[in-house]
């Protein structure tokens, strides 16, 4: 029996997990309905633009979470080290220590990349830019800060893929710890 949902935001977490599990193309309305507990009529009531609107809403929710929990602290923390530490803690929690795929990354690699290109590009660019700023505030040269910011975000994304591919979440935690240690060593060498 379909459930009653007061707001479309209520179904975004279930939609996100459905897209993570099945991909955009593989997430049929039947699978989405099963994941959300909503019938087609309710889904189209909340998302008249169909599956594309659902994915756009999920990407916007993810983006909002990362803006609050990762990007803003990197840009705005009084202590750049505190912002960087928060980034690692929030990232580890969000990706459930490597047990959860990055949906934005999946969209970047999948057949729907062009359809969601701006949201995907913006997410990754803002992450690199915020970390670049924090590293610069911590004393890294502009070139060094940019290079490390790109390497860190790429390393985190790669760690997610490798942990999932090998079904070993400890790989994610280990890589994050080594990346974090590398940044600490970089800051003390500066």
pLDDT tens readout for residues 61-84:
999 999 999 999 999 999 999 999
- Burial zone of 16 (CB within 10 Å; 0-12 exposed, 13-18 middle, 19+ buried): buried
Provide the CA 77 distance to its chain's centre, in angstroms.
20
Q: Do residues 47 and 58 touch, judged by C-beta distance below 8 A?
A: no
Residue 144: band (very low, low, confident or very high) from pLDDT cuts 50, 70, 90: very high
pTM score: 0.90
**Contacts for 40 with CB less than 8 Å, ≥ 6 apart:** 29, 33
Q: What pLDDT does 89 receive? A: 96
Q: Do residues 171 and 98 touch, judged by C-beta distance below 8 A?
A: yes
């Amino acid at each position: 029996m379909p459930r009653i949902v007061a707001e479309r935001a209520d179904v975004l977490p279930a939609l996100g997990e459905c897209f993570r599990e099945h991909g955009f193309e593989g997430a049929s309305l039947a699978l989405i309905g099963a994941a959300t507990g909503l019938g087609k009529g309710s889904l189209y009531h909340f998302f008249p633009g169909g599956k594309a609107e659902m994915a756009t809403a999920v990407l916007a929710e993810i983006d909002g979470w990362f803006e609050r929990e990762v990007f803003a602290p990197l840009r705005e923390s009084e202590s750049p080290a505190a912002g960087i530490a928060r980034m690692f803690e929030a990232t580890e929690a969000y990706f459930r220590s490597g047990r959860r795929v990055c949906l934005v990354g999946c969209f970047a690699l999948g057949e729907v990349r062009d359809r969601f290109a701006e949201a995907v590009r913006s997410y990754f660019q803002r992450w690199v830019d915020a970390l670049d700023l924090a590293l610069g505030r911590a004393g890294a040269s502009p070139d060094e800060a940019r290079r490390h910011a790109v390497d860190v975000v790429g390393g985190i994304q790669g760690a997610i893929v490798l942990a999932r591919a090998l079904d070993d979440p400890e790989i994610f935690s280990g890589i994050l710890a080594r990346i974090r240690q590398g940044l600490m060593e970089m800051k003390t060498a500066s």
